[in-house]
Amino acid sequence: MLVLGIVLWLSSMVTQSCTSAIGPETLSDGELARHYNSRYSIFDEPYGIDFKYHNYEQMSRFLRATSLRFHNLTALYSIGKSFQGRNLWVMVVSSSPYEHMIGKPDVKYVANIHGNEAVGRELMLHLIHLLVTKYGSDPYITWLLDNTRIHILPSMNPDGFEVSKEGFCEGSQGRYNARGFDLNRNFPDYFKQNNKKTQLETEAVKEWVSKIQFVISGSLHGGALVASYPFDNTPNSLIKVFQSYSSTPSISPDDDVFRHLSLTYAQNHGSMYRGEACSPSQPGFKDGITNGAEWYPLTGGMQDFNYVWNGCMEITFELSCCKYPPAQDLPHYWEENRVSLIKFLAEAHRGVHGFVIDENGNAVERASVKVKGRDISFLTTKYGEFWRILLPGVYRLEVYASGYTPREVEFMVVEEHPTLLNVTLHGTKKWTQSDVWGHTTTERRHTAMSSPHLDHPVQEPVDTDSIVFPNS
Ligand SMILES: *[C@@H]1O[C@H](CO)[C@@H](O)[C@H](O)[C@H]1NC(C)=O
Ligand SMILES: *[C@@H]1O[C@H](CO)[C@@H](O)[C@H](O)[C@H]1NC(C)=O
Ligand SMILES: [Zn+2]
């Protein structure tokens, strides 16, 4: 349904933007050529992206131009609007942009959550440009777009960006949304109750990630240079808030995977892996990575939410010591991040993936899947698909679904390619005494595990925002 919605919405968007000389997207190649030559068409301009900052209008124009010119490789949609009515544009780049490719992962980047952290926003436009122009000539990018659907939200906080100032390396002007809320403190929290009033931008992202099963995600920020991984919050930050930069880590069950993904970014980056401090008053980071809570705990962050609620491996990348550096520095940041941005997304192809099916080969939707010993469960899609990024090793997969006998399957992950694992579930049959016991137990476990928000350890709320933290 979402796919259909996007297509319908897209065609109405294209039609609306027809006040200029752009025709609807159903142009034949001959018509395209004519439009390319026609006087008022955006096809007159060579397709490119400058190293300058793009405000909302300019960014929207670039995205529209891209979607028209590369209509086979891109789809532009909006997940909602900001408080001031700006679209939260998402550009899909893939060889199959309009629909999910069954068995192939959806991945995403979200940038400019803090409106004054501007580098990631611009890098996303350059990444889009790189992907669409290199498809077909660069084998790695061709492979990536043929096997992955990449969703890019260049600005989650377009209102904040509009009031931010180029050259301002610190401070918080433009950080918040137009109603003064920090969007990276606005999500449901695994450890603590989040009492912040939910914002339109946050709701849009929550709905988006509930409809598409993203496998991996990068959240792009500025004000430091580090890859920071879950958990961002901790059950005991009350004790820790008085020690700056020396909190204890809040280790997730997938710590090995998160460290690996963070290192993939840092080691492919021009300087992040060195872990140098941005200033004498800021910490350095060994190998350019850190556990989020170990740096400083926060409540309501987006990455813990992605991981716990949606089984999506999200990492926060701090891309620049200066939050909004002069535009002349943008080529430097692009060079530093170009390879990392691509290699990180390709990590979606590591680990195990497959389908949960019934005895007749039909997909089992919303089966609860868990890697044994990693107490975070995730659900199959409506096609019965699941993905889990794992390092090489032997694992066991636990699968539960209402009405089926639970199964545990052993599998192996190797370095070179992902493991394909199909799990067949058998419907529960006659109700013997032991079946009733087994069934009841399974039901209860299934319910508890598929709803982390129902049984997570809520403690008394601690407002970590009232303490002064580095604010990146
Ligand atoms: C788009 O894809 C279709 C189907 O693969 C192909 O026939 C067509 O030539 C492509 N158009 C462009 C402009 O690449
Ligand atoms: C796994 O299941 C999917 C979906 O039912 C099917 O397309 C695929 O061929 C199966 N693969 C194997 C190796 O069984
Ligand atoms: Zn930030």
> pLDDT tens digits for 226-275?
999 999 999 865 544 454 555 789 999 999 999 999 999 999 999 999 99
Q: Ligand 2 mean position to 421 CA, how many Å?
A: 8
pLDDT(452) > 60: no
Relative orientation angle of helices 56-69 and 119-134, to the nearest 10 degrees: 10
Count CB-CB contacts under 10 A for residue 231. Answer: 26
Q: What's the whole-number average pLDDT of the chain?
A: 85
Is the beta carbon of 72 within 6 A of some atom in ligand 1? yes
Average pLDDT of span 84-109: 97
Ligand 1, residue 29: give the atom nearest the CA.
Answer: 13
Question: Among all residues, which ones are annotated catalytic?
Answer: 318
Q: Ligand 3 mean position to 193 CA, how many Å?
A: 21
Q: Ligand 2 mean position to 331 CA, how many Å?
A: 44
Q: Ligand 2 mean position to 467 CA, how many Å?
A: 52
Q: Ligand 2 mean position to 269 CA, how many Å?
A: 37
Average pLDDT of span 190-198: 94
Average pLDDT of span 173-183: 98
Task: Please give all residues whose beta carbon lies within 6 A of any atom in ligand 2, as ranges.
Answer: 355, 357, 361, 420, 422
Closest ligand to C-alpha of residue 381 is 2
How distant, in Å, are the alpha carbons of 190, 253, 427, 469 from that of 295? Answer: 18, 19, 47, 10
Ligand 1, residue 72: give the atom nearest the CA.
Answer: 1
pLDDT confidence tier of residue 464, bands split at 50, 70 and 90: very low
Closest ligand to C-alpha of residue 221 is 3
Average pLDDT of span 8-34: 40
As a 3-state breakdown, the chain gives helix, strand, coil percent values, each rounded to 5, of: 35, 20, 45
What is the reported pLDDT for 174? 98
Helices (H) and strands (E) in the chain, counts: 14, 15
pLDDT(70) > 60: yes
Closest protein CA for atom 11 of ligand 2: 422
What is the reported pLDDT for 41? 56
Relative orientation angle of helices 330-346 and 139-147, to the nearest 10 degrees: 50
Average pLDDT of span 432-445: 40
Alpha helices (H) along 282-410: 292-295, 302-310, 330-346
Region of poorest pLDDT, from 61-65, 389-393, 445-449: 445-449
Closest ligand to C-alpha of residue 355 is 2
Q: Ligand 1 mean position to 72 CA, how many Å?
A: 6
Closest ligand to C-alpha of residue 362 is 2
What is the reported pLDDT for 4? 35
* Bond prior to 231 in cis (omega within 30° of 0): yes
Residues by chain with Cβ below 5 Å of ion ligand 3 = 114, 117, 221
pLDDT(22) > 90: no
Kindly tell me the burial class for residue 1, based on how many C-beta atoms sit within 10 Å of its own C-beta (0-12, 13-18, 19 or more).
exposed
Spell out the residues 6+ positions from residue 262 whose beta carbon is closer than 8 angstroms to its own.
Answer: 227, 228, 229, 288, 289, 315
Ligand 1, residue 32: give the atom nearest the CA.
Answer: 13
Kindly tell me the burial class for residue 423, based on how many C-beta atoms sit within 10 Å of its own C-beta (0-12, 13-18, 19 or more).
buried
Tell me which DSSP letter residue 197 carries: P
What is the reported pLDDT for 235? 84
Percent of the chain with pLDDT over 90: 77
What is the reported pLDDT for 46? 81
Chain segment 339-366, per-residue pLDDT in tens: 999 999 999 999 999 999 999 999 999 9
pLDDT(87) > 80: yes
Chain segment 391-419, per-residue pLDDT in tens: 999 999 999 999 999 999 999 999 999 99
pLDDT confidence tier of residue 440, bands split at 50, 70 and 90: very low
Q: What is the pTM of this model?
A: 0.84
Q: How far apart are CA 39 and CA 44, in angstroms?
A: 7
Closest protein CA for atom 5 of ligand 1: 72
Ligand 2, residue 383: give the atom nearest the CA.
Answer: 4
What is the reported pLDDT for 401? 97
pLDDT(145) > 50: yes
Percent of the chain with pLDDT over 70: 79
Ligand 1 pocket mutation pick from 29, 35, 72 by most atoms within 8 angstroms of CB: 72
Is the beta carbon of 210 within 6 A of some atom in ligand 1? no
| Among the listed residues 380, 420, 417, the one whose alpha carbon sits nearest the alpha carbon of residue 398 | 380
Average pLDDT of span 96-118: 97
